[in-house]
Structure 1
Amino acid sequence: MILAVWAVVFASALWGTTGTAATFLSRDVSPLATGSATMAIGGALLFAIAARPASRAIADPQARRWLLVGAIGVVVYPLAFYSSMSLAGVAIGNVVSLGSGPLFAALLEWRVTRRPLTRRWMLAAAISITGVVMLAAGGHGGDSPVNPDDVPAGVALGLLAGAAYALYTFTSAEVIARGHSSRATMGAVFGLGAIPLAVVLGFTGAPLVQSLGNVSIIAYLALGPMFLAYVLFGIGLRRLRSSVVTVITLLEPLMATLLAVAVVGERLDLLGWCGLGVILIGVTLLSPARRPRLRPPRT
């Protein structure tokens, strides 16, 4: 039990370092290059460790249509996620992207499977949306390196990232429901998504290989938050209740915010801090009472 808790804690800490690590890339590296490199390399690794069962899942006609839709989410998520942090800052971009994911996931379930929205979800959604508005309206203050005028666009991209995350989470769960293992499903959906991301990387990734520092940071993002964190999270999910796991993973946006302030030099004004806290409260209320079928990795 203790090992499982620490596995989820370490996974959440790794996820929380993504935005800060990306800020150490050279200025000529675009967020599109960062996102495509991280997810393309990580996706290829996830496919490699499950190549045979993942290939069987892709060959299954019923599963393949869900995998292709999920691959769209895999492609959109890292591009929107890193672009959001580039515009709105690490703290706001991270919190909005991660906090909106569960909301969009519930909306997908309601629209596709006709699963009704509960009063608890509606309350949590109202609280989270209020927090997002507070973040966008307040945002950065003082001597923060983020341009306040870019925050609204960054928030919008964070919401797009949350929707994309919900899309590949939902479709992956549908594939698992059709008899494929989570390992095979992850390998298949991320392997398929890695193909178009590799194309994006081909057009945008030239600056990444111009310095050893850039290569090292991308290697960390792909192997740490994308690959190792997923393995650790799987250990936790097998032994802990989902409600416990959900609370532990709140360390992720907390870690991202603390690093953004302490390392990157971002400064949130009072309204921004209050908005961040409101979003965390909303996400906590969304903590499910049942064990999830799947929780794919974040970039």
Structure 2
Amino acid sequence: MLVLAAAALWGTTGTAASFAPAGASPLATGAATMGVGGLLTFLIAGRSAVRVLRGPRAVPLWVLLGGIAVAVYPLAFYSSMDRAGVAAGTVVTIGCSPVFAALLERLLVGVRLTLRWFAATVSAAAGCALLALTAGGGAEAGHDVPGGVALGLLSGASYAVFTCYGARIIRAGHSSRAAMGGLFGLGALVLLPVLAVTGGPLLSTPRGLLVAAYLAVVPMCVAYVLFGAGLARVTAGTATTLSLFEPVVAAALGVAVVGERLGAWAWAGTGLVLLGLLVLTVTVPVPPARRRASRRASRAETVPSQETGRS
């Protein structure tokens, strides 16, 4: 639920960014979102984030790699939406991130990919593809769709990288708030100079300041605190799959706020994403009789092995 709440807040980013002044650069929007928001996240974490940066062994390296990914992610993500359209940029980024995360977890820590995860990811990713192809605006609104898709893949990979390393930092004994504070504080060191160079049109009007403040505080600072708390309870692969809820929220807001129209195929894609989330999150209760039978069978299987050991 914590990760889903974070994803719901992330789903508001495209709609909020659409209210930015016409001359605002996507680099400035991304830098303001995770640069200022990353600084706030670091300040909320306080000394615990500093301890992560000074941690023993491999932890500082994990923070460095995750922090670089944090800096790359918003620049690529908002540029992807600018080139390929809000819907396509969002769904490509979020749709590919579970694949990258699963591969990273497999390579780094040997996490096995379950059939349930595979089914959920296939369903949700298929829904994302339908949204990208059929949601209102989408690819037709962009002027460099191949470049936007490529940037979406880069942002999805970056998201998976800092998710995986954030999870490793938490598993090493640090709190989720400390891990997020360390990663996003380091990313802010790169993003704030980018904002200083590109942020003139965005920060020179009251509307631009309001958009930047919302993006930095709500879908960045608040959402990633929630995400970090959820990441302490689930694997990085599960977290990135749950994040596929974001394009569903983005599509709904596009209809309700921006005035986009979704056809039958786009709604079918939304349904597939929700189906994937249900497959991943809903646990079917096991009847008590079956649980007792399973325990009896398990005990029966251990008796021969014990007798063999004694002989």
The TM tier, using the shorter chain, reads 0.7 to 0.9
**1:46: how far off?**
1.1
Equivalent residues in 2 for 1:69-148, closer than 5 Å: 69-136=65-132, 138-140=133-135, 146-147=140-141
**Equivalent-residue separation in structure 2 for 1:91 and 1:68 (angstroms):** 31
Quick check: 1:166 aligned with 2:160? yes
Q: CA RMSD of the aligned region, Å?
A: 3.4
Equivalent residue for 1:68? 64
Q: Distance in 2 between matches of 1:252 and 1:158?
A: 14
Change over 3 Å in CA distance of 1:274–1:158 after alignment to 2: farther
Question: In 2, Cα distance between the equivalents of 1:229 and 1:25?
Answer: 20
Structure 1 pair 103–144 and aligned structure 2 pair: CA distance change class (3 A): closer
Given that 1:144 and 1:266 are in contact with CA atoms closer than 8 Å, whether structure 2 keeps it comes out as: no
CA contact (8 A) 1:102 1:283 kept: no
Which digits, 9 at most, give the CA deviation of each residue in 1:179-209, with x for residues without a partner? 2222211111110011111122122111122
1:253 aligns with 2:234: no
C-alpha distance in structure 1 between counterparts of 2:92 and 2:281, whole Å: 17
Q: Which amino acid aligns with 1:14?
A: L
Give the match's secondary structure for 2:58.
helix
User: 2:53 corresponds to which residue?
Assistant: 58
Is this contact kept in 2: 1:104–1:162, CA < 8 A? yes
Which secondary structure does the structure 2 equivalent of 1:120 belong to? helix
1:36-69 CA-partner distances (Å, limit 9, x unpaired): 1110101111111223121121112421000111
Matching residue of 2:30 = 35
Contact 1:100 1:128 in 2 (8 A): no
The whole-number CA distance in structure 2 between the counterparts of 1:116 and 1:223 is: 36
- Rounded Cα–Cα distance in structure 2 between residues aligned with 1:101 and 1:203: 29
* Identity of matched residues, %: 51
Do the aligned residues in 1 keep the contact of 2:63 with 2:165 (CA within 8 Å)?
yes
Segments of structure 1 that go 5 or more residues without pairing to the other structure are 290-299
- In 2: Cα distance, 1:152 partner to 1:80 partner: 13
Question: Larger radius of gyration, structure 1 or 2?
Answer: 2
Match of 1:211 among 205, 209, 213: 205
Q: 1:15 aligns with which of 1, 10, 14?
A: 10
Q: Calculate the TM-score normalised by the size of structure 1.
A: 0.78
